[in-house]
Chain A
Amino acid sequence: MTFLWSWLRWLFGYAVLEIQGAYGERFITLCMKNEIDLWEIRRVCPGIIRVKTFLFSKKRFDVLARKSGVTLEYKEEIGLPVTLKRYRLRIGLFLGIGLYLLLLLLFSRIVWSVEIPNVNPVQEKRIRSVLLDEGFGIGSFIPWVDYKNLRYQLMLKEDDISFVSVNMNGCRAMVEVRFSETAPPSVDDGTPCNIVASRDGQIVSMLVQTGMRYAKKGQTVQKGDLLVGGIMDTRLGYYVVHAKAKILARVTDVQSQTESLTRRISQRTGRRVIRREWRFFDKTVNATPWFSCPYDEYDVVTETKYLSFGDGENVPIALTETYYYETYSQEESITPEEAEELARARLDEIDRLRFYGVEVESVNETVSVTDRSVTVTRVRSVITDICEDKTFYFED
């Protein structure tokens, strides 16, 4: 309450006034009768009483002072009206305050960030793309956002979305999305088909569920050989089925990797040029329009620095600096051992994906070295499924 009074007094402005004369009490009584607010009334010395009063009561004091036979001296004037009067000629100051208030009003009606929680990066990218197509993103003017249309468009354009809500939390947009569970792909059991070998190999196990068996365990087959037939021959006649089986075979897999004994390496000379761009919400302003990269060979490194508050909250104003480092290339020769290691590492990387979940029986590795390169060849014996459906047309 005290704070509120102090603030109100400052807002309306108040004066420190000295009442000089023998009849100060009479003046104070007259002020009371005329409903003039006085506070902090203190006798500073005999014959002088110091009071505080509102500036808007000042006009009425002359008459009251005359009636009570005292003289008044204004010691100080404090408050907003006094400050405004003091700075009334400083147009720039008032323009600055006006501009500040305008920007404050404008920026509080702009989307500063769009958050899409509980989705993976791929889904997030898709959703952001649809939102941007509909004109919604960082920098959008909040009063113009059509939330209903955004929801409809997201549901229409993304088939797997079952629920969308777009809410504004201040200047932060929260897009909540629920994805529908997709049904597993249906298995086509109705189309007549044979099963043939997808690659050369020796059958190690054979489990036929439907169809006529045309191969047996231990048999060597070539790519395209019929393993299980879809035409069933019974005493009652022929009928066709969708052949189903799991046939594992021992197959040979050959993989090789060649590495050159020379390689080109790129090194920085130490010189660089910088291109700068300012980003305000979704608008980009090139700060170096005269920029052109003077180097033939260069590395590019981009750094984006966002303005942020103390707690790490980013403001959608950023400076993007793109560094162009000048480079030069040179040939470097490596030893055959280093090349072999390099080839092996690359083969390991490929094999990790190719043979994931596949039983490998044995691996033979050969290395061949020439004047210019090293080749590592891996021959593997693996057990894998060689079934391949082959549909056929059947006419009664």
Chain B
Amino acid sequence: MKESLCGRSELPPIELAGNSRILVGACDGILEYEPETVKLRAGKRLVRINGRCLDLCNLSESTVVIRGTVISVEFEG
């Protein structure tokens, strides 16, 4: 139970607007960018967003906004 809570607190804030727009906060860097997949580092975690026609429509210091058709979001690490 304790591990599970700690695990949740390390997840980056993610906002999903339908399946066409996704905002990932606390982002430390972009590891991979292809139209079908975007891989981001958020703290100790890696976030993989799979979809179609993915564009990074806005980047700021720690926030990434991705537009396109989002199919899945995966967490690694």
Contacts and interface: CB of A to CB of B under 8 A. Distances in A.
A24 interface: yes
A84 interface: no
Interface string A24-46: 11001101110101111111000
Interface string B24-39: 0001111111110000
B35 to A, nearest CB: 6
B61 A38 contact: no
Interface string B6-48: 0000000000000000000001111111110000000000000
Nearest to B65: A39
Interface residues of B, number: 17
Contacts of A40: 55, 57
Contacts of A25: 29-33
A49 interface: yes
Nearest to B59: A38
A354 to B, nearest CB: 90
B60 interface: yes
Interface range for A: 10 to 19
B29 A32 contact: yes
A38 B61 CA distance: 10
Contacts of B72: none
Given A25-B33, A43-B34, A32 B59 contact: yes
Contact of A39 (B27, B35, B58): B58
Contacts of A37: 59-60
Contact of B59 (A24, A41, A42, A43): A41
B27 to A, nearest CB: 7
Contacts of B57: 39-41
Contacts of A28: 30, 33, 56, 59
Contacts of B62: 32
A313 B57 CA distance: 47
Given A32-B61, A32-B62, A35-B61, A41 B55 contact: yes
B43 to A, nearest CB: 15
A42 B53 CA distance: 9
B27 A43 contact: no
A40 B56 CA distance: 6
A31 B31 CA distance: 13
A24 B38 CA distance: 13
Contact of A32 (B27, B32, B55): B27
Contacts of B33: 24-25, 28, 41, 43, 49
Interface in A4-33: 24-25, 28-29, 31-33
B30 A29 contact: yes
A42 B67 CA distance: 10
A42 B30 contact: no
A49 B27 CA distance: 20
A23 to B, nearest CB: 11
Contacts of A35: 60-61
Given A32-B62, A37-B60, A42 B55 contact: yes
29 contacts: A25-B29, A25-B30, A25-B31, A25-B32, A28-B30, A29-B28, A29-B29, A29-B30, A31-B59, A32-B27, A32-B30, A32-B61, A32-B62, A35-B61, A37-B59, A37-B60, A38-B56, A38-B59, A39-B57, A39-B59, A40-B57, A41-B55, A41-B57, A42-B55, A42-B56, A43-B33, A43-B34, A43-B35, A49-B33
Interface of A: 24-25, 28-29, 31-33, 35, 37-43, 49
In order of increasing CB-CB distance, the 7 nearest A-B pairs are A41-B56, A29-B29, A25-B30, A38-B59, A42-B55, A39-B58, A28-B30
